[in-house]
Structure 1
C-alpha cells in the first residue's frame, strides 16, 4: 500500500488536484488530503488546484484556499492526482506536467495506475475511501484524523456511493463511515445540504431534462440532452446539471440512463448510469472516457443523433451478449 509520508519525504511543496467538473468525491478527497498533509507536513507548501467547486461545499475547511486557474505556474516537488487519471485534470495539467514527482490515487476500474507512484483500488466506493485506507495504514496517520478531516472524507464517500445506496457500497465502506461519524459532525445536515438540496435553477433544468427525455431499446435506455441555448435560458451552469442522470435512471424499467449536455459546437459531455447488468465503463472507455461499471462518462464530438446512435451500438452489443431483447431490427 502507498505510504503517503514516505512518498512525500523531502518535499517542500505538494500540489493536489482531481478531474474537471469536480464532484463530491473529488472535492472531498482533494480537500481531505490537503487537511491531512497540512498536519503531517506543516513545513510544506500544500495547495489544491481544482475548478471552482459548487457553493454547497463552501463549509469544507480549505475550500477558500483552492487555486482555480493556471496563471501562476509553479513547479511542485510532488503532485498528487486523485479520483482521476492525470490527463483529465483540465487547467491543473500545467502543474502536473511541471511536477518533479507524480502520485496517483484513484478507484476507477479504467485507471491502470499512473505516475511515479500510485494506488488504485477499484473495489473501493470512492477515492475518499481509498484515501481513508491510506491514512488508516499507519496509527500515526490515523491519529491525525479529527472532526474536520473525518467530515471531509465522509463527503467524498457519500457522494460516490449515493449515500451508501449504490452497489459499490461494501461492508467495509459502512464500517469506515461508522468510524467517521463517531467524530461527531452533523452528518444528516451534511447529506441534506450537499446531496439532496437543489436550487430553483437546478430544479428547473432537471425538470426540463426529464420532460424531454426519450426511451430507447424497449424502454431500457433513457436519453436526454440539454443544449447551450437551454442552459442560457435558465441561467444554468454545468454544476447545475449534476444529478440529472440519476433522475433518468430512477425511472421505472430503465437499465441505462444517458445524459448529454453541450459544451461547444458539436462537442458534448456524456454521463451514463446503469442499474444492474450494463457495464457503462466499457461504453465510456470505447469512446475515450472512463469510470465505473455503474457510473461512467466521456466526451464526444459530432452530431447529437450520431452520438446517440454510436452509444446505442455499444449498449446493444452488451445486451445481445446477455440475450436481452433490444427491440432493434436486424437489416
Structure 2
C-alpha cells in the first residue's frame, strides 16, 4: 500500500504528531509533508505540531509548522503520525473534524483511532514505516534526510534492539542520496548546549538506585528548570544517560509539568517491559522505551511505578 493512493483526491490535508514531539515524530511529519507537496502540488497541506526543539532547524520546511492550532478549516484528510488521537494535544479538534482520518504509527500500544489505521510495531520507527508507504522513485534528498534522522533518533543511532535488517536496509537506501549523515546525527542527537549538559549532570548527580540497584530514578522540578533557564526540550537524553549505569535494568526520569503532575520517561534493557508499566498509567510505548503522565507526589508516583516493575520481576523469577 502507498500513502498517495489514500489521499490523492484530497484538496486539503493536515498532518500532525504527538505533544512534546521527539525526533521520530518531527522528522516523520516533515518527511510526509515534503512528499505530499511533491505529489499533490495543487492541494493545501498544513502541518500542526508543537514547536520542535532547535536541533531540528536543519530539517527542510520546518518553518512551515503551524503551532497556533487556531483554524476553522475542516480538512478532507488528517494524518496523525507516531501517536494515537489522545496524544495530538491541541490538534485533536482539527483531527476529529476532518472528513477522513488516517493513523500511522509503530507503537504497539496504539489500538488505532482512524478510519484507516496503519500500525506496524515491527518497524523501528514511524519514519521507517512511512518510507515503506512512499514511492522510492519520488523520494528526494530532503525527504531522505528527514526519514533518516527520524529512524536514527528512535533507534538510538541504530543501537537499540528495535533495529532490524529492514531498518538497516532502509537506512542504506537513504544514505545513497549522499548527504552528510554524520553531521546530521551529531547536530540533532549528540550535541548539547552548556545548560543542557548542566541539567543532565544535576539529574545524574541526584539520581537514586533502588530495588537492589536494578532500577534508577531521577527528577527535575520546575524550579530547577527555571534556575538553569531550560525548557522541557532541553531534558532529552537524560533518561538514556541513566540507563547506561552498569547493573540497571530500568531507568526512570520524571520532570514536573504542573502542580503534582509529572511527565515520566522509562528505559529498559528488556528485562522490564516498560510499555506495560506505562499503559497502567495511561501512557504507552515500546518494551524498552515508554512514557506516561502521572499525578500525585513524586514519591507516590515512584512507589506506584515500583509496584508494577516489582510485579514483573517477581513473575519472571517465579517462571524461571
TM-score class normalised by the smaller sequence: over 0.9
- Deviation, 1:92, is 1.0
Residue pair 1:70, 1:94 contacting (<8 A) in 2 also: no
Match of 2:261 among 258, 261, 267: 267
**Distance between the aligned counterparts of 1:65 and 1:269, measured in 2?**
28
Deviations 1:94-128 (A, max 9, x none): 21121111000000000112211011110100000
> Structure 1 residues 73, 202: closer, same or farther in 2, change over 3 A?
farther
For residues 60-75 of structure 1, the aligned pairs below 5 Å read 60-75=59-74
Deviations 1:191-229 (A, max 9, x none): 100010001111011000000000011111000010111
**Distance between the aligned counterparts of 2:212 and 2:46, measured in 1?**
49
Deviations 1:272-302 (A, max 9, x none): 0001211000000011100011000000101
Residue pair 2:8, 2:40 contacting (<8 A) in 1 also: no
Deviations 1:16-72 (A, max 9, x none): 001000000000000000011011111111111000011111111110000011223
For residues 35-114 of structure 1, the aligned pairs below 5 Å read 35-114=34-113
Gaps of 5+ in 2: none
Deviations 1:166-190 (A, max 9, x none): 0000011001101100001100000
TM-score, with structure 1 as normaliser: 0.95
The answer on 1:151 being equivalent to 2:183 is no
1:29 corresponds in structure 2 to: 28
- Root-mean-square deviation over aligned CA pairs: 0.9
Stretches of 4+ aligned residues off by more than 4 angstroms: none
**Distance between the aligned counterparts of 2:113 and 2:257, measured in 1?**
27
Deviations 1:126-159 (A, max 9, x none): 0000001111xxxxx2211111111110010000
1:293 corresponds in structure 2 to: 287
Gaps of 5+ in 1: 136-140, 325-331
Residue pair 1:245, 1:257 contacting (<8 A) in 2 also: yes
Residue pair 1:78, 1:102 contacting (<8 A) in 2 also: yes
2:168 corresponds in structure 1 to: 174
- Deviation, 1:85, is 0.3
- Deviation, 1:74, is 1.9
For residues 303-322 of structure 1, the aligned pairs below 5 Å read 303-322=297-316
- Deviation, 1:306, is 0.6
TM-score, with structure 2 as normaliser: 0.98
**Distance between the aligned counterparts of 1:175 and 1:10, measured in 2?**
32
Match of 1:211 among 191, 205, 208: 205
2:123 corresponds in structure 1 to: 124
**Distance between the aligned counterparts of 2:291 and 2:124, measured in 1?**
17
**Distance between the aligned counterparts of 1:242 and 1:73, measured in 2?**
34
Matched position secondary structure for 1:58: helix
**Distance between the aligned counterparts of 2:290 and 2:59, measured in 1?**
26
How many residues are aligned here? 318
Matched position secondary structure for 2:143: helix
Matched position secondary structure for 2:138: coil
The answer on 1:232 being equivalent to 2:232 is no
Residue pair 1:69, 1:92 contacting (<8 A) in 2 also: no
**Distance between the aligned counterparts of 2:117 and 2:94, measured in 1?**
18
